[in-house]
Structures are given as structure tokens and as C-alpha cells.
Structure 1
């Protein structure tokens, strides 16, 4: 088969990412004696600089890691919703829908702490060593990809009227970054420089005081020791959660800001939310297929969708690349995605074992016909009735966006949850549109 993408092989190490500068930085770490975890952290922070329209340190990150000779683990970098982000709070503001922009939509930032935990437990490099690449590209500049400027242009008015500090960075001289022109983010570079300096000072002060490093009790089995390195990373985590960065995050969340509701609102993120959450390790969701064990993040992500797609495949597959082969994969994807809509989440128990069982998927597999399906068809694992959001029902009915119903209804689920689960529809209107919903 002809391809323009040659097979790549490495004798020393290999890196793959969505941006060449991140890959280049990670290879530099490997060539400097770092391990794969050091390289991954360095690449992650460079991506925050060169692909700011896609990710950032205050976002989230699911990480799957496989230490040599150890068990596969998932590092959850998905922050929860702030404690004050309740349905009652949003309704008290007169809102039927959580705004898609602004501080009311924010979850507790998860990415930074997850990257730090990975570096602490499995890396070998210092905080300064892995952040220097991101600092360099932020301070000295890089040539942005086209999508950065295009994305900034879509939010120009919001930046200019509401997010002036973002306008200072992303609209220098009144225009967005352009491909081929050097683009800098000095504010981010200064933030990381200050973080590194304060973390080093805090670690030195703790060492002089003879304070035992608090990281020792909570580290993964087989994690590396690093002396001052570990102390600096722990100090950086505290600074993010309780220091100058936390103060800035809370200050920004408290500032009334225009959002998609057409009004200005303050967010719900507090200092207690930041101080009370930390990234954590967990076992992966797994599925055995043709001699391989595939691992994904749990159903708080959409990772298990791939496992369900594999479970839906019959023992014998059509010829690779044939119309029948493509049809089978697409229809299986639809069924797995429908189950995602009905069952995945982090506020209630997800019946993942049943969703991946042979008995359940044999029944689901029978739904794949000769023609493409246009229906949203979630299953009923263990006899449970599927529960779909109003948004999913509207999209399935082909009426998304009509009469403002392109939203999801309230599900008063127990426990705390990701911000995405707080999309809701005014209950009387939801019941008018979907009488069967309860």
C-alpha cells in the first residue's frame, strides 16, 4: 500500500506529539539522560505554549503509564467541579444552562498537578530541567500554527472587553498571532520562572529546618527518590494549590465576567477547592482482545468507548478496508458512543464490567444491520433503563438548536462531578419536550 508516511524507527528513543517543538524538546530531555517520564512532562508543558488553543496547565489530562516491570496505571488529572457549583446555585442566578464560557464553567484545574505527580514519582529530572523548554519558547518566542490565530480571532471581542490580560498576550498590536511570525508569551514564562524560584527556596528552607518530605507517604510503589528534586516538586504543587498561582486563579474566578448567558457572573472556584484536590492514581479500564490487553482511563473519560468497540466486534472480521469492514466499525462506534451518552460519568457507579461483557455485546452486535443506523440506541446493561441527557435526545431527534433546546437536563446525581455534567435544561420545558424523562 502506498503511503507518504514512512515507517519510523529509533535506536535510542522516540517521541510522538501533536507539535514538532514538543517532540523536539522531549528528545532533548532523553538525549540529556532523562527518562520517558521526564520527556513526557517537558513535552506537555511545551504544548501549553505552542498549542494554547488546545490545552493548558489549568486544563485536564488523563495519563496512562506503564513502568518497566510494573503495572499499568492511570493518573487522573481531571479536576472536579468546585463545591459551590451546584444546581441550586445556578438556578439561584436565574440560569437554565451553565454558560459555556466564563468562570461559572470552570472545574478545579487538574493538568498541572498530574504532570507534577508523574515527574515526582517516575521522573529523574528537576523541575527547572523539564520546564526550561516551555520557558524558552514562551520567553523567546515560536512560530505559531495557523489554528492559534484563527481561534483567537473567534474570541477577539471577549478578550478585548472581558479578558484584557489575555488580549495583552494574544492580541499584541491589536491582531492575533500569525503563522511564521515570532510569537511570545512573557507572562507565562515569568509565571514558570517564579514558580521554579519559589519552589527551590521552599525546598531549601524545608531541608535546613530538617522537615521530612511529605511526599514519601503518598508515592507510588517503586517510585524514584530524588532528594531536593522531590522537595522542589512538592513545593511547586503547594504553590499551585495555595501560593501565588492559586491566589490569581481565585481572584480571576471572583471577577464578574460576561459569559454566553449575556450577563456577567462570578465563578464558584475557591481557595478551598484548589487546596482540597490532588491528582491521583487508579487502575485502568481493560479489555483483552486477540492476545492483547488494552488499557484506557476509566468512564470519567470516554476512554472505555474503544474497549466497547472491540467487544462489539465479531470473531471473524470482513476483509480489511472493504465496505463491509468500514460499515461494521462505524456502526459499532455508534453503539459504543450511545452507551457513553447513557452510562459514562463520575457522579454515579458506571456498570463498566457489564458494558464490556460478552453476553451484553452479543446482543448489541445483533443490532448492526446492512444499512447505516441514524438512531441513538443505548443499551440496558443488567436490565437498567438508559438515562439520556436532553441534549442527546434532541440531537437524536434531529432538532438540535430549535427553540433553544440544544442543552442537557438536570440529573440530580449524588456526589461531586465534572463541570461538563452541569449542563441542564429548565425542568418544565424539558418535560414538555420529553414527557418520558424523569
Structure 2
């Protein structure tokens, strides 16, 4: 029997683009139609996302991607996660009296990595010039686009902050002194000028395509963009910290630690993905500088436990998946960090033996503690604030932070995602995020804000995620790829912070185990746990917390509550923003996108 879905799973033979905004998906598809490949299309899609979803991402943010190159048969990760400033040490924050890095302002800024990652992909694997793939983003920034309701609401929520604290943001996001309404035409001509100048300076570097891309990279990381960031970071700006000497207006201000030299010394990079086997496939993720391996740990445990007889959306399945997530995320808290600066026992964490050992801890009732293991005999390290968050956990309405909890802004940031396959077999999954309009004041003359990923570090020394010079924060950004006998099958991902590697678990079970098509797997009811400390300031936890779409049904939710879960029913279409695109074994291309939020879309033919 055909399952009703909100839209069809797209099938074709030419190309597929799925993303979190319809304009970005259309931009990527237009590049495929003009003969570009998946990498060209990914850059065009991503640049448009930076313009049309400024509350979810920006070119001052960060981005990992997982890619497959059809020419070489190689699957690889592009790391567009910028590192912490050279001056970022526990002592530097202690001198300021700061015990927890704030979630907004200049103090949590890391090197902007997204733009460098796009340039790496375009230079090494693309076929088109930067101007060709950037022209639509520049056009939307200069001439305007219809503002989605969520962006309008975010600007409205922080409008007073912009008026009184962040005037450079007010100049762009409060045209005529007011927040733009939903579906109004909105433009950011300052950002358009920045993108235009980046392209022009690249073209001035020489006639070759690669020469021009490298020229643009220098203009950003060593030229006028780096110079503007350096100057602005040296100014005092209000932030979310609660220490320091408040000014006459009662606000605490700090300078940033990020410098132009930090940008000049950084480059996007490539590395091999981590993989585990699940349901006859191989699932690939980033290294432990992101939370990607936490999905792999969950899948390994579920493979060990067996899913036979556990129907989609059943109480037994939700309970098992939730308890497995608690174990995997406990390990994330204890072991994950930048492997260039901390020993992470990845091989042991992802081993079938460790998964079988861990899943035996799942009981009939919801566990309310944080239980990291000892992979390979390595003792877990939990920081004092992690332990305190678990001890102090209470009601928490949205799984992130509530308005007024130590932040000058009330709106939270989120993320974007895109998945692309082309007719040659190239595949890209990318998750750009950070640099939100509400995260940090807009940089004068550039039209975008710095990211605040540094809030994911701890100032306590000696932990895998302790702050230190030139380190990658343990991000939540987590694109994924499914391989079938070493060949790309599916690119997938979702926005959602700590929820990213939770929402995709039922999606993968629905598709790979139960045989649902991509759209049906995305549309199915979803859930997530809020059990462990959030990765975002103020880093709270809600032990036993379980958010679930009420489409699971009252019987399932009551059953879960009876097992000790602290169940909160959310709206029927509220959890998850998954998109996916892939290649079937018969060569047919496929794609689907999330209907929740009413802005994600897949296109293709």
C-alpha cells in the first residue's frame, strides 16, 4: 500500500538538489542545468543559503561536508570548521573572570571556515568560475528576496538589541527603523558588495580558474575581509557574559580574541571519514571534532541490539533509540574533541565489541544519569560543568536555551543543510551554520557577522574540549553519507544542533530497515532526547527529557512516560529538517526534503 507523503520522493537521471530553502535548491539546480557538477552546484546553493537564511548561517560561520568524487571513487570530508584564536587559552578567559564562554558577541568567535571550504571544493573538484556560481547569491543580496517567516520573527525578537546595542546590525536588518515582515522583500547590499569585491579581487589575480579562486581566498583570509574582522574584533562589544565591568547602560562588553593573523594562518582541509556498518550499508561521518561519530556509535549499538519486531514509531523502538542515544552522547561528552590536540579513542568507540558492551546497559526503564564508557580502557573525562548540569537539570522548554538565560539576544541560532547528486555520480552533503545575524554584531562594511562556535569549548583545562590555541571546537554540525559496497548511495543531514544526530536515526531506520522511500522516512513522526548538556550556552541539561511529535500517538507517549521518560509532546510537524539525495543501485537519482517549517525543498529531473 502506498503511504501518503507531503510531497513525492523525486526520481530522475540528470541531477538532484535538496536543501533547507527553495531558492537555494533552485540555484543549485540551475548550475546543474548549465553543465556544472555537484561541487559547482553545492557552492551556488550554499552561497544562496548564506543570503536567504541569515538567521541560520552566514559566510562568517563554519561548515563540514562529506563528498564523493566520481572520477577517483574517493569519499572524503571537507573540514570548514575554523579554529580558535591563537590567544584563546584558559588563562586568557580566567583573566577576564569568565568561567563559561558566552554564546554571543566577539569572545566566542573562531576563524570563519565556511567560505574557505566552498573555495576548496570549487577549486579542486568544480568546473566553473566563482562568478558563475556566486551570481545568484549576489543578486539576491543586492536586489532582495522574500524573507521567510522565521527570519522575520528572529529579527523582530532581537530588534531592540540591535537598536540599543548592535547598531551595525540595525543598519542592515531594521530598514526604516523596523523589522521586515514575513514575505517582504529584503536585501543586504553591503553583503552583495563584499561578495562582488571577493569575486573581482579573485579575477584580478590571473586568468586561470584556480588562480582566481586562490585570489579570492587571499582576499578573504589575508586581505580586506581579514583586515575588517581584525579591526572589529579589537572593539568592545556587548556579549552574553555575566562578568566584567558593565557600562553605564548595565551591559558587559569585551573585545574579541580573533585576529587577522588567525585567518591568515588557516586553510580548509580534507580528511578521511569515519564509518560503521548498519543494515547492510556503510554510514560515513566526520571525525570527533564534530559530533558525527555519535551517530555511528548509535547505529553500531542498534545493529548489536537488533531491530527485528520494532515497528516504526513504536514505544519499544523509541525507548531503545533514546536510551542508546544517551549512551552515545555520554561518550561524546567524555571523549570527543579535536584529535589534533586530544587523544580520542575513535577505533574503540566505533568497534562492534564496544557497541555490544554498551547496549547491554539499556534497561526497561529510562536512565536518568550520564554513563560514559571506557573504550579501550581509556577513562572518561567529564568536566565540572557537565556534572553540574546533570545534577541541576530541570524543566527546559525547547531543548536549547530559554530567553533571558545569560544571553543578550532571545532568538537562538540554527543551521542549514544541502544534498546534491549529479549525473556523473558526484555527491555532496554539507551543513553550513554559524555567523547568525543574532549571534554577533554585523561587521562594518562586510554585511555579515562572526560565528560563535567557541561557546562549545570548556574553560576548564585538561578536557578533550578545553579551550586552547588553534583548536577546532566540538561542533554539532553533522552531514552524513551512506555507502553501498563502497559506492555512494545517499547524502543526508539536518539542522538542529544536538538533535542533528538524533533526528536522522529514525530516518535511517525507516529507510534502510523498513524500506520507506526517502520522503516517507522524512515525513514520519520524530523525537529526540534533551538528557545531556546542550552544546550551546548556557549548556543546560534535562535528565530524562524526551521531546516527541504528538503524531506518535497518546498510547505511545503514555507508554514512554510509564517507562520513566520525561515526555513533552511537541507539535505534529515540529522536529527535524532532514533532506537527502542519492543514487539507487539501478542508477536512478532520488531526493526528498523536509516539509516542516515550510521552506525546505528538493528539485531535480
TM-score higher than 0.5: yes
Residue pairs, 1:255-334, within 5 angstroms: 255-261=235-241, 262-313=251-302, 314=304, 316-317=306-307, 318-321=309-312, 322-334=314-326
Is this contact kept in 2: 1:98–1:423, CA < 8 A? Answer: no
User: How many angstroms does 1:113 deviate by?
Assistant: 0.4
Deviation at 1:102, TM superposition (A): 1.2
The answer (yes or no) to whether the contact 1:106–1:419 under 8 Å persists in 2 is no
Determine which of 377, 382, 388 is the counterpart of 1:388. 382
- Aligned residue in 1 for 2:49: 47
Q: Secondary structure at the match of 1:15?
A: strand
What's the CA shift for 1:248? 0.9
Describe the superposition over 1:208-245 as per-residue Cα deviations: whole angstroms up to 9, x where unpaired. Answer: xxxxxxxxxxxxxxxxxxxx111100000000011111
TM-aligned CA distance change 1:59 to 1:424, over 3 Å = closer
SS of residue paired to 2:275: strand
Q: Which of structures 1 and 2 has the bigger CA Rg?
A: 1
Asked whether the equivalents of residues 105 and 419 of structure 1 are also in contact (C-alpha less than 8 Å), the reply is no
Q: Which has the higher contact order (CA 8 A, sep 6+)?
A: 2
SS of the residue aligned with 2:17?
coil
Residue 114 in structure 1 maps to residue 117 in structure 2: yes
| C-alpha contact (below 8 Å) 1:47/1:55 kept by paired residues | yes
Q: CA deviation at 1:277?
A: 0.5
SS in 2 for 1:155: helix
Which residue of structure 1 aligns with residue 472 of structure 2?
418
| Residues in 2 aligned to 1:326 and 1:364: alpha-carbon distance in whole angstroms | 18
Match runs of 1:211-222 below 5 Å: none
- For 1:88, what is the secondary structure of its paired residue? helix
Q: Does 1:196 align with 2:160?
A: no
Q: Which has the higher helix share?
A: 1
Partner of 1:117, secondary structure, is helix
Q: 2:332 aligns with which of 314, 322, 340?
A: 340
Matched, 1:240 2:220: yes
* SS of the residue 1:136 aligns to: helix
> Which piece of structure 1 moves more, 407-416 or 272-281?
407-416
Instruction: Please say if 1:354 is aligned against 2:348.
Output: yes
Tell me which moved more, 38-47 or 140-149: 140-149
Aligned counterparts of 1:70 and 1:415: Cα–Cα separation in 2: 36
* Maintained 8 Å contact 2:84/2:469: no
How many residues end up aligned between the 2 structures? 401
Kept after mapping to 2: 8 A contact 1:35/1:123: yes
SS of aligned partner of 1:72: strand
Query: Using the alignment, how far apart are the partners of 2:103 and 2:373 within structure 1?
Result: 29
1:136 corresponding residue in structure 2:
139
Structure 1: which 5+ residue stretches go unaligned?
Answer: 205-227, 426-438
Partners in 2 of 1:357 and 1:419 — Cα distance? 24
Structure 2 residue ranges without an equivalent (≥5): 242-250, 397-404, 408-454, 476-534, 539-605
- The secondary structure found in structure 1 opposite 2:203 is helix
2:139 & 2:97 partners in 1: Cα distance? 45
**Would the alpha carbon gap of residues 409 and 195 (structure 1) be closer, same or farther in structure 2, given more than 3 Å must change?**
closer
TM-score by length of 1: 0.86
Structure 2 counterpart of 1:182, from 180, 185, 190: 185
**8 A contact 2:289–2:474 mirrored in 1:** no
1:319 CA drift (Å): 2.7
Task: Call closer, same or farther: CA 1:270–1:400 in 2, change over 3 Å.
Answer: farther
Aligned residue for 1:169? 172
* 2:88 aligned partner: 85
SS in 1 for 2:127: coil
Pairwise CA distance, 1:4: 2.4
2:306 aligns to what SS in structure 1?
coil
Q: Conserved in 2, the CA contact under 8 Å of 1:15 and 1:23?
A: yes
Instruction: Sort the Cα spacing of 1:379 and 1:28 in 2 relative to 1 into closer, same or farther, 3 A.
Output: same
| Aligned partner of 2:23 among 14, 21, 24 | 21
* Residue 98 (structure 1) shift: 2.0
Structure 1 stretch 1-10 or stretch 262-271: which is displaced more?
1-10
C-alpha distance in 2 between matches for 1:38 and 1:21: 16
Instruction: Decide which of 57, 68, 73 is 1:70's aligned counterpart.
Output: 73
Q: Give 4+ residue runs of structure 1 displaced > 3 Å after superposition.
A: 398-402, 404-409, 412-416, 418-425
Between Structure 1 and Structure 2, which shows a larger proportion of strand residues? 2
Cα drift, residue 149 of structure 1: 1.8
Distance in 2 (alpha carbons) for counterparts of 1:400 and 1:108: 34
Q: Assess if the C-alpha contact under 8 Å between 2:144 and 2:188 holds in 1.
A: yes
- What is the TM-score of this pair, normalised by structure 2? 0.63
Q: Post-superposition shift, 1:162? A: 3.4
Deviations 1:26-69 (A, max 9, x none): 00000011011000000000000011111111110001000114
